[in-house]
Structure 1
Amino acid sequence: MHTITQTPDLAAFCERAANAQFITVDTEFMRESTYWPKLCLIQIATEDEAVLIDPIAGKLDFAPLLALFDDKDVVKVFHAAKQDIEIFVKMSGRTPNPVFDTQVAAAVCGFGDSVAYNSIVKQVTGGEIDKSSRFTDWSHRPLSEKQQRYALADVTHLRDVYEHLLTELDRQKRHEWVADEMADLMRPELYRVEPEDAWKRLKMKVNKPLELAIMQELAAWRERRAQDQDVPRGRVMKDEAIFELAQQQPADAKAFDRLRSFSRGFGRSDQAADIMAVIARVKKRDKTELPKVPRRPRGPSPRGPIGDLMRVLLKSVAEDAGVAPRVIASSDDIDALVLDDEADIPAMHGWRKKLFGDRALAIKHGKLALGASPEAVIPIEVDINPPQ
């Protein structure tokens, strides 16, 4: 097993790999106690070589690797790519280009939604991967032989999976289906969390503009603090605490003692002082500067008959295409489409729109009906202006 710990060896490998049509890539990292993933190992394989790149045991300049990732003549193949790509975006500000995600392609080829790597390896190659090293401490050195074998298996089997999926995409004429997904994976902004946008991931809803403004500012404050201290955002403050603060708006130390999300005495801490300063600053805004609380869309209920018919259509379309329904549209997609014809959802873009989105809107507007035979659901076009 070849482990690279020095920059000259990394540069030499990357020079050889630049002649390959594709490389398979995986990483081992830890982030249970950090905001940013802590990179512990990089695995890369070409068609005839596989290496481990160790950023902990050696002193490495990653410039040769990042140059290889920028090489548009070499496809970078991952399985479930987002977390791996996030690491490289943090390194360079750029995504590898081009990329191919075998999990996405597998879903399009009928292997199921979010298929696990060991499952697709078994289906494609018949091989088994020993997953017992998956949750070991990858930051500990030296790595055991078992860990190294596991790490290499993640990229050597991936070569066979990639080539099999390319063949399947050719056979089913579905390269277009994955093209948009791969383009989306290469957007650097997908991997950046801007503090000002952090509130969008919160599930709680508020009803007043002032509460929404406080929630936005506190979420941004928490995100910056978590990034600066490199700790999980939940360790700074829980989501529920942000929601409670937005509603209760404590203005002094004693007020924190009446909140469920904070321990007694927290109000005297420096963190509480920062929180109160954020709340006070927002409360000084003019009402015209406060954000508008989004109105609930008016229209048919997502859980009514239109949504039910769309779900029947989705199941039928998915069965015909030989893919899991969620690959085409999620339940949230359907809810959004019932409420808004212009919903910006995956089901209304690219191949999904042709396969499902357009027909779902036709059902919504009475231009398409669903019939049934013993074998299948049958879409039936409806003439909404029949001759008199």
Structure 2
Amino acid sequence: MDKYRNDIYTKLFEALSEENVSFHGTTDRKVKKALEVTKEQLLNKVNKLIRAVDENNTLLVKDENSKLFDDWTSISNILDIGFEKSDKLCDLKKQKSLKRKAESDEQLLTGPINKKIKIEKPQMYFKTPVDNSDNGPFKPKLSNKPYSIEPLNESLKLVPAELGIPEHYKNPYSVEIKEQEYNSLIFKKQEPVSYLPFNETSGIFITTDEDLKDMIADLKNYTELAIDLEHHDLRTYYGITCLMQISTRDQDYIVDTLLLREELNQLNEVFCNPNITKVLHGAFMDIIWLQRDFGLYIVGLFDTYHASRSLGFKKNSLAFLLSHYVNFDAAKQYQLADWRQRPLTPELLSYARSDTHFLLYIFDMLRNELLSRNKMQHVLDESRKVALRRFENNTYRPDTLSADVYSVQDKSKPWLHLARNYYIPDKWDPLVEAIFKWRDEVARKEDENPRYIMSNQFLLKLVTEKPKTATAVLSIEGLITSFIKSNANLIAHLITTSESNIQDDNQSATAKSKSFSSSIDNIKIEDLKNEKEEFCSMLGSLSEQIAADNNPATCDSKYIFNLSPHVWNEVSLPISFSSSKGINIEDFKKREEAVNKEFELEIKLSSPKLEALFEHAPVVESNPETVSIPNDELIENKESNDDDVVVLKPYRLEQRNKALEEKRKTEEIHNQDVIPLDYSSGSKMLVNHDKKRKKSKKQKKPMAAKKDFNPYEEKKADTKDSKAKVLKNMSRKRTGSGKSISFKKR
């Protein structure tokens, strides 16, 4: 809302010229006074900015009439100087190391972060290449299943697709997570076990399979473990887990998950043991990373985040818990470190170890408070929900994402989300989609972040500028990555092809929408009248032939095709026959409906069901305008609509006679005294007289003796001189009215 309001204000200020401001000031004293106050405030602010960058005050603006106010280029240059100085100061500030206030441990965590270090992709050395494909649902990486209730083969069965949920594999430990009981010690209050002094202990860095096995053997001796992960997703497609920290009451372990990626599934012997409580803080994403990268699952999770929420703490972060229970301030600047780098600096190792070193003591404190407030079961239920989460590939994500499923792209069509955020017109959505999908495909292949392939800003500039050559692509302002340089020709071809397809689709849609209306516009009224007469004649002849042959299959189809080729070709009505010898019932109904609706017939055609014609002889009226065949069974009428051009309503003979009688009475009324003119209808009197006959047939109710004149009405008694009467009424002055008649175009 603020952005929208600022845009409105900007446009209003741009539209308000200096002359208009001065003019309003001369016409309104309040406006003039407000302008003077605003000028003074603006002058003070400009001078304040100038003093910040010009110590000698040589650029100060003395008054509002200064030329500086007329040419804002100088002001802009001054502001640029200020921004440049601000950027330099910010860079200097970033280079300073932040102090950590942990009592005796402060010296271990004060080293700077080298963010510009160039790191070779560790994925290149994985034994099993990273699979970023999206060809099927994510399949759990399990080769065995310790502490199982449900067998492994049952856990890895593909779940069929449901409404809004594509086929998928469930969390293979879902049964165990739901049904396994927690260690009974978690429900007992105990004296918290104090943590060892941080500076008097050191972590063990696990880099080999032998070290891993020794660590697992040690972990099995404990009933509680603290676990944390360090993840990197800046230069990969899905992300990679770079480090794992595990702490017992006596020892901290730091596991190199880049080196031991293939061997870490052994940890399920500990992680899935329900008798060992696994303590994590905010395990929402840790659960996803463990199963995606290593095939690890956690049974017996205790999430300290949900514990802090249940206890109503004002903050729920790990940093707050460390400060609250341990008086330890975590140096969170290391969260932004690139954990792929090897070797890890002492500062990074100390920071990683601090996340789990104090966590078991915090667990003890939280456990006692939860038991005191009878909230332990709620926290365990919430922790189970977190442990049940599963990772899924983008294409197989549910239509509506929930906390149970995680996918990198949280939108089914992320390119649409991108286009709408940057106000790209809807018609260019196919172009946005084409470039977005190309970027995504390259990112998957290279295991790179899509934004490192091409930034969103550059993608949108391609859409708005639509370069057609490689040179034009590389000329666009923005970050030109190596992937853009090497694929410039392909990108240009992609844009050209997509734009051509969009134009073809638009032209096709426009042509379809105009084809029918343009054909109707070319039909003349005389042609319609002729077609109507031919169709009426055809109905009579067709009825006679059907009655004579008593077999619709022998009816000569020439009666249908006798209609003018001009009309049929223009209207492009579908022709479909079940027999090459004649027409069937559906064809007849289609022709009847087409003529009545599309040609706007002045005479309503009525026809009974064709099946009835085989039992009754036809009765063709002498009046060629209507064909009536006696039949006791009445055709089902259509619902009338004010917008319908023609409503098909067949009549019985007595109903038809009644209608004719009403028509005769109406005509008598029309021939009565002079009808008063409607002044608003004067402009319509120049319309082609042939339209009068159509309008007169649409009015069913008898009209009053005196009514507004309608120039479209038809009088059967004197159709030849109707036009003369209209002109006469237009030109004469009614006696006694006291008004002169004149017509003005509305």
Structure 2 Cα separation of the partners of residues 273 and 236 of structure 1: 14
**What is the aligned partner in structure 2 of residue 89 from structure 1?**
291
**What is the aligned partner in structure 1 of residue 247 from structure 2?**
45
2:352 equivalent to 1:151: yes
- Judge conservation of contact 1:252–1:267 (CA < 8 Å) in 2: no
**What is the aligned partner in structure 2 of residue 228 from structure 1?**
445
- Judge conservation of contact 2:301–2:383 (CA < 8 Å) in 1: no
Q: 1:168 Cα shift? A: 3.8
**What is the aligned partner in structure 2 of residue 273 from structure 1?**
490
- Judge conservation of contact 1:45–1:155 (CA < 8 Å) in 2: yes
Alignment RMSD (CA, Å)? 4.3
2:367 equivalent to 1:166: yes
**What is the aligned partner in structure 1 of residue 228 from structure 2?**
26
Q: 1:231 Cα shift? A: 2.9
Task: Select which of 399, 409, 415 maps to 1:199.
Answer: 415
Q: 1:230 Cα shift? A: 3.0
Structure 2 Cα separation of the partners of residues 246 and 181 of structure 1: 45
1:110 counterpart SS class? coil
Q: 1:55 Cα shift? A: 4.0
State, as a whole percentage, how many aligned pairs show the same letter. Answer: 22
Task: Select which of 62, 68, 71 maps to 2:264.
Answer: 62
How is 1:320-339 mapped onto 2 (pairs within 5 angstroms)? none
- Judge conservation of contact 1:66–1:92 (CA < 8 Å) in 2: no
Change (3 A) 1:251 1:136: closer
Q: 1:26 Cα shift? A: 1.6
Task: Select which of 175, 178, 188 maps to 2:391.
Answer: 188
Q: 1:184 Cα shift? A: 4.7
Q: 1:234 Cα shift? A: 1.9
Structure 1 Cα separation of the partners of residues 437 and 300 of structure 2: 32
Structure 2 Cα separation of the partners of residues 87 and 224 of structure 1: 22
Change (3 A) 1:221 1:159: farther
Change (3 A) 1:196 1:250: farther
1:41 counterpart SS class? strand
Select between 13-22 and 41-50 the one with higher mean Cα deviation: 13-22
Q: 1:283 Cα shift? A: 6.3
TM-score (norm 2): 0.33
Change (3 A) 1:153 1:259: closer
Change (3 A) 1:187 1:167: farther
Higher relative contact order (CA 8 A, sep 6+): 1
Change (3 A) 1:230 1:21: same
**What is the aligned partner in structure 2 of residue 344 from structure 1?**
none
- Judge conservation of contact 1:256–1:262 (CA < 8 Å) in 2: no
2:321 equivalent to 1:120: yes
2:358 counterpart SS class? helix
2:470 equivalent to 1:241: no
- Judge conservation of contact 2:281–2:303 (CA < 8 Å) in 1: yes
Amino acid corresponding to residue 309 of structure 2 in structure 1 = A
TM-score (norm 1): 0.57
- Judge conservation of contact 2:227–2:279 (CA < 8 Å) in 1: yes
Structure 2 Cα separation of the partners of residues 65 and 59 of structure 1: 11
- Judge conservation of contact 1:198–1:223 (CA < 8 Å) in 2: no
Q: 1:25 Cα shift? A: 1.1
Amino acid corresponding to residue 199 of structure 1 in structure 2 = W
Select between 44-53 and 278-287 the one with higher mean Cα deviation: 278-287
Task: Select which of 199, 204, 219 maps to 1:17.
Answer: 219
Q: 1:43 Cα shift? A: 0.9
- Judge conservation of contact 1:89–1:191 (CA < 8 Å) in 2: no
Q: 1:64 Cα shift? A: 1.0
Q: How many residues align?
A: 287
Structure 2 Cα separation of the partners of residues 157 and 50 of structure 1: 10
How is 1:227-376 mapped onto 2 (pairs within 5 angstroms)? 227-253=444-470, 256=473, 259-261=476-478, 269-271=486-488, 273-274=490-491, 276-277=493-494, 280=497, 284=501
Task: Select which of 204, 208, 211 maps to 1:6.
Answer: 208
**What is the aligned partner in structure 1 of residue 307 from structure 2?**
105
1:162 counterpart SS class? helix
CA offset digits 1:156-205 (Å, max 9, x no partner) = 21112233333444416375377457525622234442696543763715
Change (3 A) 1:95 1:201: farther
Q: 1:104 Cα shift? A: 4.2
Structure 2 Cα separation of the partners of residues 125 and 249 of structure 1: 58
Amino acid corresponding to residue 253 of structure 2 in structure 1 = V
CA offset digits 1:333-358 (Å, max 9, x no partner) = xxxxxxxxxxxxxxxxxxxxxxxxxx
1:111 counterpart SS class? coil
Structure 2 Cα separation of the partners of residues 132 and 250 of structure 1: 42
Change (3 A) 1:276 1:103: farther
Change (3 A) 1:281 1:72: farther
Change (3 A) 1:76 1:221: farther
Change (3 A) 1:275 1:88: farther
**What is the aligned partner in structure 2 of residue 79 from structure 1?**
281
- Judge conservation of contact 2:434–2:498 (CA < 8 Å) in 1: no
1:235 counterpart SS class? helix
Which structure: greater strand fraction?
1
Change (3 A) 1:199 1:78: farther
Change (3 A) 1:181 1:197: farther
Change (3 A) 1:134 1:267: closer
Q: 1:45 Cα shift? A: 1.6
Q: 1:65 Cα shift? A: 2.0
Change (3 A) 1:5 1:199: same
Change (3 A) 1:58 1:97: closer
- Judge conservation of contact 2:310–2:379 (CA < 8 Å) in 1: yes
- Judge conservation of contact 1:204–1:243 (CA < 8 Å) in 2: no
Select between 158-167 and 182-191 the one with higher mean Cα deviation: 182-191
Structure 2 Cα separation of the partners of residues 94 and 278 of structure 1: 44
2:436 equivalent to 1:219: yes
- Judge conservation of contact 2:225–2:246 (CA < 8 Å) in 1: yes
Q: 1:123 Cα shift? A: 0.3
Q: 1:132 Cα shift? A: 7.4
CA offset digits 1:130-170 (Å, max 9, x no partner) = 66766666555554555444322211211122333334444
1:112 counterpart SS class? coil
Change (3 A) 1:223 1:267: closer
Amino acid corresponding to residue 242 of structure 1 in structure 2 = L
Q: 1:229 Cα shift? A: 1.9
